[in-house]
């Protein structure tokens, strides 16, 4: 069915340029797809623990959603990493270092560490140690032009570098803006730094923190970024898991962003994968 859906989307948007505003020229076929997708997700994923936004990856149009106050900024954890990486790139001629992650000793979430990581693997495995290193010299002031270009809210001017690495709860971003920032990433795929980031997201789907997405799909072919952040809604949990998944990887047609209450990001990726599979069915 995904093929049918993708043909629908192609037909419905032919003649429109990417970036067409939400309400412009919404066609009947696209409405039908949106209705079918919304109904499928509503029927099969009823848990209130799951929030989601489903967007047409080329137009930014909402196809389906269930997310209370998606415009209200909340902590989104490691979902910021691609944009922080590009802010770092602007400052360093897009030359990215390699780094030896030694786990707990260098401040990573994976106790045994990720070993030698470059930007692509740091995105794929969401290595905190790598991002602690590249944000050590990054400030809100020098990173803000890049972050603003992607439409993201900025952290407080005096925010610590750890905040820019996606750690803690001080950097709050609207989920809606974050979903659109990932679409902007796709539009800028030929630009310096973006290629490595997108390779990292493909690697994430294959064997990184987003591997549950590809595992759920009959034809694995996604770009994924996961994140875990302090929970901001009730009933309160210790943390919420996030995943942004785009498919197909080479020319994304849909973007699904999910939040799953009380689980880590890698597990939210499993929910995202199951939702995409249902839509494909």
Choose between 108 and 216: whose C-beta lies nearer to Zn ion.
Answer: 108
Q: Which stretch binds Zn ion (CB under 5 A): 72-80, 93-101, 159-167, 186-194?
A: 93-101
Size of the residue set binding Zn ion (CB under 5 A): 5
Beta carbons of 258 and 242 less than 8 angstroms apart: yes
Residues 56-85 that bind Zn ion (CB under 5 A): none
75 closest CA partner among 175, 187, 215: 175
Choose between 35 and 98: whose C-beta lies nearer to Zn ion.
Answer: 98
101 binds Zn ion (CB under 5 A): yes
Q: Which stretch binds Zn ion (CB under 5 A): 22-30, 94-102, 165-173, 268-276?
A: 94-102
In angstroms, the Cα distances linking 55 to 222, 247, 252, 258 are: 15, 11, 11, 12
108 binds Zn ion (CB under 5 A): yes
- For 10-32, letters b (16+ CB in 10 Å) and e give eebbeeeeeebeeeeebeebbee
133 binds Zn ion (CB under 5 A): no
State residue 129 phi and psi, 5-degree precision.
-60, -45
Instruction: Indicate which single residue of 58, 81, 114, 261 sits in contact with Zn ion (rule: CB under 5 A).
Output: 114
Q: Which two tokens stand for residue 230?
A: 């302090």
Residues 168-187 that bind Zn ion (CB under 5 A): none
Q: Which chain residues interact with Zn ion by CB under 5 A? A: 101, 108, 114, 127, 129
């Amino acid at each position: 069915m995904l093929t049918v859906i993708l043909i629908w989307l192609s037909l419905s948007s032919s003649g429109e340029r990417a970036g067409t505003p939400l309400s412009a020229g919404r066609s009947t076929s696209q409405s039908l797809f949106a209705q079918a997708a919304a109904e499928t997700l509503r029927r099969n994923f009823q848990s209130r623990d799951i929030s989601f936004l489903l967007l047409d990856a080329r137009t930014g149009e909402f196809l389906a959603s269930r997310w209370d106050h998606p415009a209200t900024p909340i902590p989104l954890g490691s979902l910021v990493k691609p944009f922080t990486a590009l802010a770092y790139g602007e400052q360093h001629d897009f030359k990215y270092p390699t780094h030896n992650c030694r786990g707990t000793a260098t401040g990573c979430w994976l106790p045994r560490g990720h070993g030698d990581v470059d930007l692509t693997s740091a995105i794929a495995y969401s290595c905190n140690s790598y991002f602690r290193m590249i944000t050590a010299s990054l400030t809100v002031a020098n990173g803000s032009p890049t972050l603003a270009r992607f439409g993201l809210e900025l952290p407080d001017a005096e925010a610590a570098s750890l905040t820019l690495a996606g750690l803690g709860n001080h950097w709050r971003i609207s989920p809606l803006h974050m979903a659109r920032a990932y679409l902007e990433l796709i539009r800028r795929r030929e630009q310096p730094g973006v290629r490595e980031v997108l390779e990292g997201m493909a690697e994430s789907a294959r064997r990184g923190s987003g591997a549950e997405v590809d595992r759920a799909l009959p034809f694995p072919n996604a770009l994924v970024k996961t994140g875990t952040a302090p929970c901001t809604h009730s009933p309160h949990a210790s943390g919420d898991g996030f995943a942004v998944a785009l498919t197909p990887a080479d020319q994304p047609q849909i973007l699904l962003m999910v939040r799953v209450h009380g689980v880590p990001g890698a597990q939210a990726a499993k929910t995202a994968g199951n939702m995409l599979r249902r839509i494909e069915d």
